[in-house]
Amino acid sequence: MSLAEIKSRIETAEAAAGRAPGSVKLIAVSKVQPNDRVQAVLEEGHRCFGENRVQEAAGKWPDFSKTFENLDLHLIGPLQTNKARQAMELFHAIHSVDRPKLAKTLARLAQEMGHCPDLFIQVNTGEEAQKAGILPKEADGFIAECRALDLPVKGLMCIPPVEEEASLHFALLAKLAKRNDLDSLSMGMSSDFEKAIALGATHVRVGSAIFGARVKPEE
Ligand SMILES: *Cc1c(COP(=O)(O)O)cnc(C)c1O
């Protein structure tokens, strides 16, 4: 599927949900994609991309930024504290703030560096043992803790369990955001971004539907 098709499906979903045109940001997830595919999407004028590893992103985006201006890069994968500084230098938003130790590190670095990317708190809505994210019942407390650290928390992020109805998880994330006065929701991927838009997504993270299947394994 092409970038243009995905954009038009997003517009249709926005309209169907009675939402303003342009209220949903498309993050093109370029992890493990060959550079020529990423470059083709850049040449079509798209500037917002998502990566799930700091190392991989550091190996490709500084080069692209020499040719393409106004990049808007989002970290959507787990962040180790020892890579936090590099992530804050590289990314305009981090969607995977998921534990107090990381929040404290980001706060300390933000003080030191004088800037901080937009932050999303990742919620493990399916309470899956292998998945990152704060548990739903701990979300209110963690959001308050991040705010007390003066972190720029913009919204919440989730990755629903593969075998469950994604809409239930999107609705839970929207409820948690609303009761904490957060207006950004990072939810929805290639297979379910329209459902996510219906439930209030402001950022959808779409990879394979734009770039084709990922050719290299992720790990
Ligand atoms: C890989 C990834 C995506 C994109 O997945 P697709 O199914 O290819 O659209 C979205 N979000 C996160 C957190 C990812 O790691």
Are 2 and 182 in contact by the 8 Å Cβ rule? The answer is: no
Burial class (CB in 10 A: 0-12, 13-18, 19+), 204: buried
| Secondary structure letter of residue 93 according to DSSP | E
Percent with pLDDT over 70 in the chain? 98
Ligand 1 atom having least distance to the Cα of 214: 8
Q: Give the model confidence (pLDDT) of 17-39 as tens digits.
A: 999 999 999 999 999 999 999 99
Burial class (CB in 10 A: 0-12, 13-18, 19+), 80: exposed
- To the question of pTM greater than 0.95 for the whole model, the response is yes
197 lines ligand 1 (CB under 6 A): no
* Tokens matching residue 180: 């904490």
What number of CA atoms fall less than 13 Å from residue 159's CA on the CB side?
Answer: 18
Q: Give the model confidence (pLDDT) of 31-71 as tens digits.
A: 999 999 999 999 999 999 999 999 999 999 999 999 999 99
Burial letters for 39-69: b for 16+ Cβ neighbours within 10 Å, e otherwise? eebbeeebebbbbbbbeebeebbeebeeeee
75 lines ligand 1 (CB under 6 A): no
Coil vs helix vs strand at 2: coil
186 has a pLDDT exceeding 90: yes
Mean pLDDT of 205-214: 93
Percent with pLDDT over 90 in the chain? 95
Domains of the chain with CATH codes: 3-211 (3.20.20.10)
Ligand 1 atom having least distance to the Cα of 157: 13
CA 187 / ligand 1 centre spacing (Å): 10
Q: Give the model confidence (pLDDT) of 118-146 as tens digits.
A: 999 999 999 999 999 999 999 999 999 99
* Tokens matching residue 98: 């998921």
**pLDDT at residue number 1:** 74
199 lines ligand 1 (CB under 6 A): no
The mean pLDDT value of the chain amounts to 96
**pLDDT at residue number 115:** 97
**pLDDT at residue number 214:** 82
* Tokens matching residue 72: 């808007």
